[in-house]
């Protein structure tokens, strides 16, 4: 056979698939990720979704001020996107926790699908699938899945991911509109959006001065608006950054401190391996870059909350809306580095990760379900104990009660709204005590203990 014949018979190499065109693998990946989100969420549907903390104030406003007044007026100026989300979720749907939970699950499925579709523009489809799947099972952003009042953060994250994809597609105007909408839903996405405006085009070597300056100007105005109309006071001083690492790589994503230490050791080993390669100036592959980008994304996602309270678990994990994606990138990057060295090592480490992380989702779901039940049991006990002669102020304690950092209600404002919604009275106040001193300074006939609530609940059951 001649050389000419050999060349003629050699097939031409196939072009890489367009990132904007879905193939059969992409469709299967999106279907699998959607199924994964549903599978993770399904136990909670049987445990019984409920409402906690802010949910009751939104529902109380809806009940007594109307469907389109569920969100307080100040929210329209401080977080306009949140105002829209609360109006649609708590306002239009109302007190139907299972229906609202179905909406939350659908939003999470949209997030995980968008995360895959955008990530595959930068990494191989299997790696993008792994990143999205790990994010779906990480239990360090549970508020996005089980707390209706935080649906605005889920919408903000979805819009941020879509905005990054639009930046990569060079659809500048639409990307700017989507990123602004994301920022107006939840300020956690502002800094990542600004960085994406610079980094994504630079990655493609298509950084253009005019569209970049326009996008940065629009985001600058948006950021200024959010700073001038803060949701939380800017002088908060109880930041707890030491909680950030365990929340992403330790006890915050598992069921015990011992399991958390095992995961922390896995993460430390991966980062140490990367540091060793960097010191040797070795060529960095896709996995190493995933770790680098993931580590960078965590502080970027938390930048808006430098003075906010960071908790390892509980309702404070809404602050990890963006940074949880950074953690997913790191974990997948570490797995890829291990796979390149030893496939057996990677499989064992991956199995350990899944076994330690997945059960934590059930623990968090039980906590949210118990907190929701606690709110209803508290109101039921107050009605049973006092009948129509409820004191003008009722104090619950002796301290707050939380399940894995998740309370049924807190303070005086939220607790009063809980009572107002169920009793239809605005002349009563309820306060959840934060100290024994406060609780026992109140007359005994106005004190309600959690032990009394539990005893009454047990009798009814």
Confidence category of residue 235, pLDDT binned at 50, 70, 90? low
- pLDDT at 237 (0 to 100): 56
- Output DSSP code: residue 313: S
Residue 259 and residue 248 share a domain: yes
Q: For residue 299, tell me if it sits in a domain.
A: yes
Q: What is the mean pLDDT of residues 201-213?
A: 90
Task: Answer with the residue of higher pLDDT: 349 or 134.
Answer: 134
- pLDDT at 13 (0 to 100): 36
- pLDDT at 239 (0 to 100): 60
Q: What is the mean pLDDT of residues 43-60?
A: 96
Q: For residue 16, tell me if it sits in a domain.
A: no
Confidence category of residue 20, pLDDT binned at 50, 70, 90? low
Q: What is the mean pLDDT of residues 321-334?
A: 96
Residue 96 and residue 29 share a domain: yes
Give the pTM. 0.92
Which of 366, 401, 419 is the last residue before a domain boundary? Answer: 366
Q: For residue 10, tell me if it sits in a domain.
A: no
50 backbone dihedrals φ, ψ, rounded to 5°: -150, -170
Residue 270 and residue 239 share a domain: yes
Residue 284 and residue 172 share a domain: yes
Which of 366, 390, 408 is the last residue before a domain boundary? Answer: 366
Alpha-carbon separation of residue 294 from 35, 290, 291, 312 (angstroms) = 25, 6, 5, 19
Which of 366, 390, 417 is the last residue before a domain boundary? Answer: 366
Residues 6+ apart with CB under 8 A from 9: none
Based on the structure, what is the number of domains in the chain?
Answer: 2
Residue 214 and residue 74 share a domain: yes
- Residue range of the domain that includes 324: 24-366
Q: What digits encode the pLDDT tens for the residues 113-126?
A: 999 999 999 999 99
Residue 415 and residue 289 share a domain: no
Task: Reply yes or no on whether the pLDDT at 349 is more than 50.
Answer: yes
Q: What is the mean pLDDT of residues 77-101?
A: 95
- pLDDT at 18 (0 to 100): 56
The dihedral over CA atoms of 264, 265, 268, 273, expressed in degrees to the nearest 10, equals -150
Q: What is the mean pLDDT of residues 267-283?
A: 87
Q: What digits encode the pLDDT tens for the residues 211-232?
A: 999 999 999 999 999 988 888 7
Residues 6+ apart with CB under 8 A from 285: 336, 340
Q: What digits encode the pLDDT tens for the residues 168-190?
A: 999 999 999 999 999 999 999 99
Residue 346 and residue 451 share a domain: no
> Terminus-to-terminus CA distance in the chain, angstroms?
86
Residue 396 and residue 282: Cα distance in Å, rounded? 60
């Amino acid at each position: 056979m001649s050389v000419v014949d050999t060349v003629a018979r050699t097939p031409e190499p196939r072009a890489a698939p367009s990132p904007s065109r879905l193939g059969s693998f992409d469709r299967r990946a999106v279907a699998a990720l959607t199924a994964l989100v549903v599978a993770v969420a399904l136990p909670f549907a049987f445990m019984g979704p409920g409402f906690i903390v802010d949910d009751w104030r939104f529902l109380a406003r809806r009940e007594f001020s109307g469907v389109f007044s569920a969100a307080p007026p100040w929210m329209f100026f401080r977080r306009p996107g949140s105002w829209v989300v609360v109006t649609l979720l708590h306002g239009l749907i109302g007190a139907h926790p299972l229906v609202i939970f179905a909406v939350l699950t659908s939003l999470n499925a949209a997030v995980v699908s968008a995360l895959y579709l955008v990530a595959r523009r930068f990494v191989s489809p299997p790696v993008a699938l792994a990143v999205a799947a790990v994010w779906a099972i990480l239990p360090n952003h549970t508020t996005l899945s089980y707390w209706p009042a935080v649906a605005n953060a889920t919408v903000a994250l979805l819009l941020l991911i879509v905005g990054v994809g639009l930046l990569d597609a060079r659809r500048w105007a639409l990307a700017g509109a989507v990123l602004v909408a994301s920022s107006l839903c939840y300020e956690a996405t502002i800094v990542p959006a600004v960085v994406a405006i610079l980094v994504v085009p630079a990655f493609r070597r298509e950084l253009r001065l005019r569209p970049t300056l326009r996008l940065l100007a629009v985001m600058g105005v948006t950021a200024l608006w959010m700073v001038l109309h803060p949701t939380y006071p800017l002088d908060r001083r109880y930041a707890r950054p030491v909680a950030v690492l365990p929340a992403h790589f330790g006890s915050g994503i598992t069921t015990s401190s011992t399991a958390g230490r095992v995961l922390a050791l896995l993460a430390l080993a991966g980062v140490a391996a990367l540091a060793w390669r960097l010191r040797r100036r070795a060529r960095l592959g896709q996995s190493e870059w995933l770790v680098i980008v993931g580590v960078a994304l965590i502080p970027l996602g938390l930048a808006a909350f430098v003075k906010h309270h960071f908790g390892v678990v509980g309702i404070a994990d809404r602050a990890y809306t963006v940074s949880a994606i950074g953690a997913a990138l790191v974990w997948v990057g570490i797995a890829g580095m291990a796979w390149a060295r030893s496939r057996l090592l990677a499989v064992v480490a991956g199995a350990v990760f899944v076994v330690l992380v997945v059960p934590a989702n059930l623990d968090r779901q039980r906590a949210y379900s118990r907190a929701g039940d606690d709110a209803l049991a508290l109101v039921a006990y107050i009605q049973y104990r006092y009948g129509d002669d409820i004191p003008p102020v009722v104090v619950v304690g002796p301290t707050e009660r939380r399940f894995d950092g998740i309370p049924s209600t807190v303070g005086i404002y939220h607790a009063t709204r809980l009572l107002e919604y169920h009793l239809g009275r605005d002349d009563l106040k309820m306060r959840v005590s934060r100290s024994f001193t406060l609780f026992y300074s109140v007359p005994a006939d106005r004190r309600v203990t959690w032990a009394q609530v539990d005893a009454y609940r047990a009798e009814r059951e």
